[in-house]
Amino acid sequence: MASGTAVVASEIPGYDEVVLNEGTGLLVPPRDIPALAAALARVLSDDELRQRLAAHALRSSRRYDWERVSSEILEVYEEVARRRREPLPRRRRQQRELFADFHIHTHHSKDCVMPVADILERAREVGLDVVAITTTTAPPAAGARELADRYGVRVIVGEEVKSSEGEVIGLFLERTIPGGMTFAETIAAIKEQHGIVYVPHPFDRLHTIPSPAVLRANVAAIDVVEVFNSRLAFPGFNELAERFAQRYRLPAAGGSDSHVLPDRHHALRYRRLLRA
């Protein structure tokens, strides 16, 4: 880009943060050979496109000039140094370790058949202290709190909302949040209830997920990222989520995303992973 060359790149984390598709280059789905060939053919055959991409890329590359980057790095170090001088909060002694599953569905979700009582019974069996009931409608999950004391399990009322740009979970809700709003509008609705914004399976392409650009645009409002989801078909999706959380220093959590009761053994496996 800095040499004024048109770029064709795979749309993967890292590249998609530097290259703006149809702006400073062309992005293609990874491992999609026909799409890559078509993009290369466009750049080679369209002089106007190639020149436009190269010119925009050259201007964009100045964002990464060493003088600018070094000053930003210095600001990070100065911010860290200021925090180091602040006294650390006193840690309470003998804090008890808690195990939680922040993503569980019940029969109140359209694609789930599990009654709340069965979920709480299984949570007690596997040793979970906290479960978040994230149905597709929040108020029905509130009934789980009435049963919680009976099973010795704390319940968080939540909702998995299908925004127009991907799924997002609100925790500690009292009212249903309608689907179909933008990702930012959905987050605002969660915050309006003083809820926690929890992003489930953010890189699982088999779900309706927000794009990397949407995630980055709203990263300041995200409270928790799900870095372990037991129902994902490919472990790499969890790894991408973990790297995203580390990169933006966001709290990480795990969820079984259970829709049927047998899935609950994954929560026990996650509990053992945490202990390890």
Q: How far apart are CA 241 and CA 252, in angstroms?
A: 9
Residue 205 is classified by DSSP as T
Query: Mapping DSSP to helix (H, G, I), strand (E, B) and coil, where does residue 16 land?
Result: helix
What's the topology of domain 8-85? Rossmann fold (3.40.50)
Q: Is the dihedral of CA 37, 40, 44, 49 positive or negative?
A: positive
Amino acid (one-letter) located at 45: S
- List the chain domain ranges: 8-85, 100-275
Show the tokens assigned to 126.
Answer: 């596997």
What is 210-255 written as a DSSP string? Answer: --HHHHHHTGGG--EEEEEETT-S-HHHHHHHHHHHHHTT--EEEE
pLDDT of residue 265: 45
pLDDT of residue 272: 47
pLDDT of residue 118: 85
Digits of tens for pLDDT over the chain (276 positions)? 999 999 999 999 888 888 999 999 999 999 999 999 999 999 999 999 999 999 999 999 888 888 888 888 888 888 777 765 555 566 565 567 888 999 888 876 666 667 888 888 888 888 889 999 887 655 545 567 777 778 888 889 899 999 999 999 999 998 899 999 999 999 999 999 999 999 999 999 888 899 999 999 999 999 999 999 988 888 889 999 999 999 999 999 999 888 776 544 444 454 444 444
pLDDT of residue 89: 60
In this structure, the dihedral spanned by the alpha carbons of residues 170, 254, 213 and 197, taken in order and rounded to 10 degrees, is 20
Burial 17-31 (b: 16+ CB within 10 A, else e): ebbbeeebbbbbeee
What's the topology of domain 100-275? TIM Barrel (3.20.20)
